[in-house]
Structure 1
């Protein structure tokens, strides 16, 4: 178009914007967006969704704010992206404000919007509000039900997960692979070994869903948490997708709790060979060997990491308190209340240990 001197009209410019945004080229999409003489809801939605899909949620929310300031009224597609962004960032106040705008403008949320809204409330630890949105949703489908089930699963509400799953079946909805993954994860956290086995078999037997690597990994986690490492190892050996790193990674994590050194070494070898491009694999392996006091192996892994010039990005978490988002980076003491936070962590560790929990305590008790 540029070489031939063809001048696109407004419709074609929007199509170009969508092309670049969906292709993940947000730099060019931004250039195309700035060239638009008239920016309609479609143009704004394209930019918001593009940034959210590229895990640049803050930029997506910035575009949403600019869209509101321009005087345009968001539609269902806008809110679906905004709620996803708020869920990823766990910014409850922003999500509530967007929910209020949706209600104020009398926009009826469709299945996609309501599912994103349910997910947002659950990821912001507002279980009551998430369930309320679900109950008020008129057009429920498997996605809506799965958002509810996954939400309860994220908070370890095993009873609620299984109750909702049974209600879903009773009302005539067929679960999908994501639904079963949430249920298996809940069984893992609840120590429900037999139930986990039954749900895993039911996937194929009752619903014709072929388990994928994450489902096998969830079963390994169920068996591993119950201390059945030999059974977990046999399960992995006979898994049709055993050449996937997530399965061996699950077994490796299980070995840190109850495993033997022999099984751990086998799991580590397979995980290392399959997860070739992930810097984090070195950390996982180092921690696993440290569990068994294999310090020579720990030193060898860390030396190899340095020789390759590889460096793992520090992990971080965040929380919103009184409309302010606080970030916490691994190994950094930048927060203004760092001293008080570590004192609280130390106290919590001691309380858990005194209650009978024995895990990895990085902060020593008094």
Structure 2
């Protein structure tokens, strides 16, 4: 005899289960596998007890929601054989599918429930239904279900409302999400402690919604208003800033987190490392690594790859190799990361050696690994080797080249002066070339002085991305390098009329854990006077040993003296001057730059490294340059 109706049982237990169920079916505790359950199921069918809705519900729950023995195919069969499934059974099967790889099936079953007279949806039905809507981004279905929730008077239920907010967030409808969120926050004082704690999760969900849309300012405003923050709140903001390109802001909030005495965890470290990588903040990266070791945070393949990438992009490839060699297990991601790091540093032979080691270790190369290999070949001018790896990728491993692979090959052919071959590859690609590929070809035309092809490429680029300043700048620079100043003026006028601005040269250097940023001809730093004095000293010492500025790198129609002056104040030279006055002798200087280094800066850095006995590492838009004792690791092929 049943003591509780379906609805009263569900309302009394947040786990969706009748408290008397284990008294009804204690044998289910002994089931260790789905086969054990099938035997029990067969026994209940044979004795006729399967008609008891709670016994059937127990069997359904085991195969639908068990962590280790979930079998939705069997659960579906059990459910559809139930004569009159109760509300608990409907909720169980809906929840199971909402958490599965078939979330839309949960909505189909919910529709059938609405058509069934034996059970009505309750406040435990709607959270998984809304979760299914969120997973399939079914906003229209979600709005209809929202109407049904209001009709049943369940829109004031805290858990239902939380899932409504989540559904709108995941569907990208932030206005409705925020409106519901505000109602939830306003009623927060009337909630229990457990629900109020859950409301912190709700704040995190809405913040994450803004981050997904790239609205980081809205996310930050909401974050600043939070009455209390969880570790997830901090991690969400750090990851959001990093993913949306606000790397300095990611570091700033990471520092705020530490000031608030919130202990970083594994997720925090994985989230902050990409921002550290992009800024070249090696000291901060070392701190993160040391923190992980001190607090016994496992450096697995994910964190290990992030550390390898960080050390590589911060100019310490030796440390990246050390982390790689210390990993307990290596997979295709970790191998690809170290290969890409070595390629970035111009160590082509080591990159190709690691690719061979990966093959010998029995690890299947990914398409990302081949991007690293082809990039290494490009930086070293290994044309024949690149062709060989391209064939291996497609014919041996059956990998389909992505646009990034084509970009590597176009860059390779362009650097090597094989412009016709590069153009043919672009025109015969199976996908539409993007602006990156066309820019690589246009840059090669500029380097090798092929104006005719360059003008054709520039025209295509302008059609593809008419408001992208990079194309106009490359075309203008090509004309300027050939002394065609009228053509330069025409391009510059076109840019002015279309309000297209050139990205200014920008360089970063980390000193004592702080990132210092410099623009071209920057005079805003507190130590600007000392920096200017050091720049003059660098220029005087360079001239004293016979150095003459390469004024052909100044792509402006000005007199020779002005050209020399412009060269002195390129952003990377300002960063190096600041590094020289801010660090002790023999300290390695590491600079990151947003653009490709010009030829004069490259020559200057070689000489400065020798004159000041400094190792200088510069990461420009394309690769790393290691300057030491008057030489560069790129061997002047860049």
- Structure 2 residue aligned with 1:326: 516
> 1:61 and 1:198, CA in 2 relative to 1: closer, same or farther beyond 3 A?
same
- 8 A Cα contact 2:467 2:498, kept in partner: no
- 8 A Cα contact 1:213 1:246, kept in partner: no
Deviates more, 1:336-345 or 1:220-229: 336-345
- 8 A Cα contact 2:455 2:475, kept in partner: no
Distance 1:52 1:21 in 2: 10
Distance 1:210 1:274 in 2: 25
- Structure 1 residue aligned with 2:331: 141
Offset of residue 363 of structure 1: 10
> 1:363 and 1:5, CA in 2 relative to 1: closer, same or farther beyond 3 A?
closer
Which whole-Å deviations, capped at 9, do the CAs of 1:164-197 have from their partners, x for residues lacking one?
Answer: 1111122122222322222111101111111111
- Structure 2 residue aligned with 1:271: 461
Offset of residue 245 of structure 1: 2.5
Distance 1:343 1:240 in 2: 54
2:313 is equivalent to residue 123 of structure 1: yes
- Structure 1 residue aligned with 2:243: 53
- Structure 2 residue aligned with 1:13: 203
1:148-227 → structure 2 map (5 Å cutoff)? 148-227=338-417
Secondary structure of the structure 2 residue equivalent to 1:281: helix
Offset of residue 219 of structure 1: 1.1
Secondary structure of the structure 2 residue equivalent to 1:337: helix
Distance 1:82 1:241 in 2: 34
- 8 A Cα contact 2:414 2:441, kept in partner: yes
Distance 2:257 2:450 in 1: 57
Which whole-Å deviations, capped at 9, do the CAs of 1:285-314 have from their partners, x for residues lacking one?
Answer: 101222333332211100111222332231
- Structure 2 residue aligned with 1:111: 301
> 1:72 and 1:331, CA in 2 relative to 1: closer, same or farther beyond 3 A?
closer
Offset of residue 232 of structure 1: 2.1
Secondary structure of the structure 1 residue equivalent to 2:510: strand
Question: Could you say which structure has the greater relative contact order, defined with CA pairs below 8 angstroms and 6 or more residues apart?
Answer: 1
- 8 A Cα contact 2:204 2:236, kept in partner: no
- Structure 2 residue aligned with 1:251: 441
> 1:20 and 1:257, CA in 2 relative to 1: closer, same or farther beyond 3 A?
closer
Distance 1:345 1:114 in 2: 42
Unaligned runs of 5+ in 1: none
Distance 2:244 2:539 in 1: 34
Distance 1:56 1:222 in 2: 31
Distance 1:259 1:209 in 2: 35
Distance 2:297 2:546 in 1: 50
- 8 A Cα contact 1:145 1:168, kept in partner: yes
Aligned alpha-carbon RMSD (Å): 2.9
Secondary structure of the structure 2 residue equivalent to 1:325: strand
Q: Which has the larger radius of gyration?
A: 2
- Structure 2 residue aligned with 1:228: 418
Distance 2:547 2:399 in 1: 43
- 8 A Cα contact 1:345 1:363, kept in partner: no
- Structure 2 residue aligned with 1:303: 493
2:549 is equivalent to residue 340 of structure 1: no
Deviates more, 1:143-152 or 1:260-269: 260-269
Distance 1:352 1:121 in 2: 35
Distance 1:177 1:342 in 2: 48
Distance 2:603 2:389 in 1: 40
Offset of residue 35 of structure 1: 4.2
Distance 1:103 1:150 in 2: 25
Offset of residue 100 of structure 1: 1.6
> 1:238 and 1:61, CA in 2 relative to 1: closer, same or farther beyond 3 A?
same
- 8 A Cα contact 2:426 2:433, kept in partner: no
Offset of residue 326 of structure 1: 3.1
Which whole-Å deviations, capped at 9, do the CAs of 1:26-70 have from their partners, x for residues lacking one?
Answer: 333234334444322111111111111122122222222232233
Distance 1:128 1:53 in 2: 27
Unaligned runs of 5+ in 2: 1-160, 162-178, 189-195, 551-597, 605-638
Offset of residue 156 of structure 1: 0.6
- 8 A Cα contact 1:245 1:270, kept in partner: no
- 8 A Cα contact 2:301 2:329, kept in partner: yes
Q: What TM-score comes out, normalization by structure 1 length? A: 0.88
- 8 A Cα contact 1:130 1:148, kept in partner: yes
Secondary structure of the structure 2 residue equivalent to 1:317: strand
Secondary structure of the structure 1 residue equivalent to 2:508: strand
Deviates more, 1:333-342 or 1:77-86: 333-342
- Structure 2 residue aligned with 1:26: 216
Offset of residue 24 of structure 1: 2.5
Deviates more, 1:173-182 or 1:85-94: 173-182
Distance 1:112 1:316 in 2: 31
Aligned residues: 361
> 1:179 and 1:345, CA in 2 relative to 1: closer, same or farther beyond 3 A?
farther
